[in-house]
Amino acid sequence: MSSPKDERVRLKYFKWKDLYEQEKPYILLMDVPDDFPSCNFEFEDGQLETIHDLRGRDVTFSLEDNAFKVVHFPTKQRNWDRASVQNDYFPEMEHLIRREISGVTDVFFFDWRLRSTDKAKTDTPEGSHVDLANPLHYLEPIEAVHVDQSDNGAYMRVEEHTGIRAAELHQRRFFIIKSVREHRLTLIDSRANDSFFSIWRPFGNTVENFPLAMCDGSTVGPRDLVLADHVRKTYIGETVYPLYQDNYKWYYLNRQTRDEVLILKMFDSEPTAKAKCCPHTSFKLSAGTDNPRARESIEIRALVFCEA
């Protein structure tokens, strides 16, 4: 077993301004007039922090206590077109969710996304914009500490994606979960209430740079979090940006492979949950591999509900 390779880095955090006492932070993910600001917030480097390597450590993390966990879950998937993801990969991930979370009754996948560090895949022609409605368009890894869904955003997702069953499902605990595999995945789980999880996995090469850093959710409090609207043409979502605090505890999985999955909890409807969410971000390794291979991942988002 290899020794842990901890990192000392400055992560990018939401930059607070007095403006937000009067105006809510927002970003417009659409075409806007030239004289109208498309975003009213920015990020800044935090203080030096240690990102602890999970590789080689005899320690266990759980969704309940830390809002993230690492699992070994190989995939048979080799194609990442729309039909293959929805018809083949979704069922694999539903099996993973039901294996890792007890009492799951319903799973609703509502979004998925491909990411890559290969500029040839992520660059867009001059004057054009990324079509965020097209999950086949590769996006760059996000280098800013964030949580995918706020409490309000999670409940809006339930209303939008579960239709007439929304009132019934709101009686259960639910989570939003993100799972990462080079290709990365995002999911939601619930148990008698509501929660939001995400699953992240590399789907190609072993991760040689820009791994995912995960914050222990038990070290994050509600006063640390800033809500921001993400406005698209067809939907207004609400994302969470933590402010820097020196008590956060950060972790990553060095050289993550396609058979290793990160499951992150984005939201938990249980008021007494020890860890409500898992802030996370990609980051550049201080001393990585020379000429690292592209990091490619898939993220799939789903609502998951559990029995009372």
What stretch of H or E contains 252? strand 250-252
52 is a domain residue: no
48 is a domain residue: no
The pLDDT value recorded for residue 88 is 94
* 3-class DSSP state of 91: helix
Query: Who wins on pLDDT, 308 or 230?
Result: 230
256 is a domain residue: yes
10 is a domain residue: no
The alpha carbon of 106 is separated from its chain's Cα centroid by a whole number of angstroms, namely: 20
Distance (Å, whole) CA 236 – CA 29: 10
The pLDDT value recorded for residue 195 is 60
Q: Can you tell me the mean pLDDT for 218-239?
A: 91
pLDDT(105) > 90: no
Mean pLDDT of the chain: 86
Read off the pLDDT of residues 136-179 as tens digits, 9 standing for 90 and up.
889 999 999 999 988 777 777 777 767 656 666 666 777 666 65
The pLDDT value recorded for residue 279 is 97
Those residues with Cβ within 8 angstroms of residue 109's Cβ, 6 or more apart along the chain or in another chain: 86, 90, 93, 94, 187, 300, 301, 302
Entry pTM? 0.89
120 is a domain residue: yes
Distance (Å, whole) CA 98 – CA 105: 9
The pLDDT value recorded for residue 85 is 92
Domain range for residue 99?
20-35+62-306
Read off the pLDDT of residues 252-272 as tens digits, 9 standing for 90 and up.
999 999 999 999 999 888 888
pLDDT(184) > 50: no
Read off the pLDDT of residues 110-121 as tens digits, 9 standing for 90 and up.
888 999 999 999
66-87 residues labelled b (16+ CB within 10 A) or e (exposed)? bbbbbeebebebeebeeeebee
At 189, the pLDDT band (50, 70, 90 cuts) reads very low
Assigned token pair, 170: 């709101």
119 is a domain residue: yes
User: Of the candidates 252, 190, 155, which has an alpha carbon nearest to the alpha carbon of residue 63?
Assistant: 190
118 is a domain residue: yes
Looking at the 3D structure of the chain, how many domains does it have? 1
263-295 residues labelled b (16+ CB within 10 A) or e (exposed)? bbbbbbbbeebebbbbbbbbbebeeeeeeeebb
The pLDDT value recorded for residue 191 is 35
57 is a domain residue: no
